[in-house]
Homo-oligomer: A and B are copies of this chain.
Amino acid sequence: MASSKTKCIHSLLFFLYLTSVSFPTFNSLVYLWPLPKQLTFGNGTVAVDPSLSFQVQGVAHTSAILEDAFQRCKKAVFNDRSVIARSAAADYALSVVKVVVESADETLQLGVDESYSLFVSKDDGRSIIGEATIEANTIYGALRGLETFSQLCIFNYETKSVEINSIPWYIQDEPRFPFRGLMLDTSRHYLPVNVIKQIIESMSYVKLNVLHWHIIDEEAFPLEVPSYPDLWKGSYTKWERYTIEDAQEIVRFAKMRGISVMAEVDVPGHSRSWGVGYPELWPSLSCTEPLDVAKNFTFDVISGILSDMRKIFPFELFHLGGDEVHPECWNTTMHVSEWLHENNMTTRDAYQYFVSRAQQIAINLNWTPVNWEETFIAFKEKLSPQTIIHNWLVAGICPQAVAAGFRCIYSNQGLWYLDHLDVPWEEVYSADPMEGIHDKAQQKLLIGGEVCMWGETADTSDVQQTIWPRAAAAAERMWSTREATSTANLSSIILPRLEYFRCLLNRRGIPAAPVRNFFARRPPTEAGSCYSQ
C-alpha cells in the first residue's frame, strides 16, 4: 500500500529524472493518440512478459472496474497471441505494472480527475523504478494510463515478443477539457446494443468520456418507458427497441471504461414518434409536431419519461434538445391556438414556456439541463442559469454563451458533425472549441466539445467508419494541449500519427476508414498499406 508520502517521493524522483533528460520535443513522432500532456522518452527497449500482471496499490485494490480494465489491457497488448517473454532485441522483460490509485471514490461525473502519470523503465540498477508504474488520483485516471500503456506496447514480428521501445518513458497526462463527447442517434437508425458497446469500447481508445445518446427523434421512439408503456410503439419494429435493462447495461458498460452516458429527450420538436403510442401528444392527427404545448398531459409524459430515465442515467447532465422547433402546428390547430390566445402567448413565448417547464422537470430530478443553442439564441434571459448550451449551428455561439455566464459544449456542425462527409480529418483536427474565448474565467465555462454522428445514413453497416478516424482527430483536440497539437505540421507530423492510429483501431477490430480520402467512410482507392492510406 502506497501512502501519499510515497507518492510524493515518487513524483519528486520523477521530477529529478525529468531534469536529467531532454524535455519533450513534439517534432519527434510519438505514436500515442491522443498525445499526452508531457512526456520524455529514451532509446531502450523492454519486452513485455506474456504473464504480465497488474499490482494495485493504494485504496482501489478491490475495484471491479480496474480488474476489468486489466483484462482489456492485456487483450489489447497481446491480442490473444502467444508471444515470447524475452527477446534478443530487448534488455529486460517487464512483468508487472504497478497501479497506484489515491481515491476509492468511483463516482463518475463531469470533471472527475482523469490525470495520471506513467513511468516505464528497465530494472538495470540505473533507473529508480523497476517496473511500469501508473499513478492516478482516481480509477478513471488509471484507466486512461492503462490505455496509454497499451498503445506503447508493439508486437515485434521478428522477435515475436511484445516490446516497448524508447524506454524509459515518463508521461504526465491530463485532459484539456472535462467533457469530450460523441453523439449517437438511435432514432434515424436503430443501433443494436452490441454495436453501441463496440462504439463505447472504441471511444475509450481515444479517451473520449461522454456518450451523448440521442435516443429518440421524430422517426422512432425505441426506448422502453415503464410509466407510459405505449411510447415505444413508436419504434420502427417490435425488435428495434431498448429495454430499461438494455439502457442500464449500456450505462454500466460505459462506466467500466470511464465513459458517462448523457441521454437526450429532445423537446418540443423532433418528437413525432411519441404520438404513435399516445396520439393526444400531437396537436392534431394531421399536425404532429411540436408536442402539444397546451395540454398538461404533455408535461405529465415528459415527467414520466424523465423520472424513469433518472433511475438509469446517473450522469448529472441531461440533454433536453430544444432545436429546430417549427411551431406552425401550434398556430394552425384550433385548441392550441386558443390556448395561446388565452395565455397571451406568441409561439415564441410558448416555445420558451415549453423549454422552461421541461428544464424544471429535469432540475427537480437533480439534473443539469443541456439545450441545443436555439434556446440560448431565442431567450437566453429565461433559461435556467444552470443550463449548458450545446452549440451546433454556427461558429461563435460558445463565446457568446460563456460571456453570458453559461457553460458551453462545442459541436460546430461545419466541422464536428460526422455525418458531414465532406469534412476531411484536417478540418476536424484544426477546429478548436476555445476559439474566440480569451477571458480566463470564461474559458473555464467552455467544458469541452462533442462530435455528432447523426443517423440518417449511418446504421450498423457504416457507423464505425463514419465515426473513425475523424472522431479521433477531435478527441486529440479535446484531450491534448494546443501546444502539443499545433496544426503547423499537419501532413508531416499529425498525418503519419493518425494513419498509425487508424491502423491500431483496425488491428483491434474497429473498421476505421482510410485517413487520406477527402470524403469520409470511402473505401481505399487501390491496394496498399494501411499505414499510407
Contact = CB atoms under 8 A, between A and B. Distances in A.
Contacts of A527: 187-189, 219-220, 455-456
Interface in A190-213: 190, 192-195, 198
Given A243-B157, A243-B160, A521-B523, A461 B188 contact: no
Interface stretch (A41-49, A314-322, A502-510): A502-510
Nearest to A187: B527
A483 interface: no
A53 interface: no
Interface string A134-154: 000000000000000000001
A125 interface: no
Q: Identify which of A188, A462, A503 gathers the most chain B CB atoms within 10 Å of its CB.
A: A462
B245 A509 contact: no
Q: By DSSP majority rule, is chain A's interface helix, strand, loop, or mixed? A: loop
Nearest to A459: B524
A284 interface: no
Interface string A324-359: 000000000000000000000000000000000000
B239 A531 contact: yes
Say how many copies of this protein the assembly contains.
Answer: 2
A460 interface: yes
A240 B529 contact: yes
Interface string A482-517: 000000000000000000000100111111111000
A511 B509 CA distance: 12
A465 interface: yes
A237 interface: yes
Interface in A150-204: 154-155, 157-158, 160, 187-190, 192-195, 198
A523 B457 contact: yes
A185 to B, nearest CB: 9
A80 B193 CA distance: 10
A464 interface: yes
A422 interface: no
A255 interface: no
A81 B245 contact: yes
Contacts of A245: 81-82, 160
A381 interface: no
A276 to B, nearest CB: 13
Contact of A461 (B192, B507, B514): B514
Residue of A81, A155, A507 contacting most chain B CB atoms (<10 Å):
A507
A463 to B, nearest CB: 8
Given A79-B194, A523-B459, A523-B461, A189 B512 contact: no
B461 A513 contact: yes
B81 A246 contact: yes
Given A249-B80, A460-B506, A238 B157 contact: yes
A302 B174 CA distance: 54
Which of the four size classes fits the interface of chain A? Answer: 35 or more
A79 B243 CA distance: 13
A439 interface: no
A511 B460 contact: yes
A501 to B, nearest CB: 13
A508 B197 CA distance: 12
A195 B459 contact: no
A20 interface: no
A513 to B, nearest CB: 4
Contacts of A82: 245
Contact of A525 (B154, B238, B457): B457
B529 A236 contact: yes
Interface in A447-493: 455-465
A524 B80 CA distance: 35
A314 B11 CA distance: 56
Given A157-B232, A194-B508, A460-B512, 20 more contacts: A79-B194, A81-B193, A81-B246, A157-B238, A157-B239, A157-B243, A187-B527, A189-B524, A189-B527, A189-B530, A236-B531, A239-B503, A239-B531, A456-B527, A457-B525, A460-B511, A461-B512, A462-B465, A511-B511, A521-B523
Interface of A: 79-82, 154-155, 157-158, 160, 187-190, 192-195, 198, 219-220, 224, 232, 236-241, 243, 245-246, 249, 455-465, 503, 506-514, 521, 523-531, 533
Q: Which 8 A-B pairs have the closest CB atoms?
A: A236-B529, A188-B527, A460-B506, A194-B509, A457-B523, A461-B513, A192-B507, A461-B511
7 contacts: A239-B503, A240-B531, A458-B523, A459-B523, A460-B509, A460-B510, A464-B511
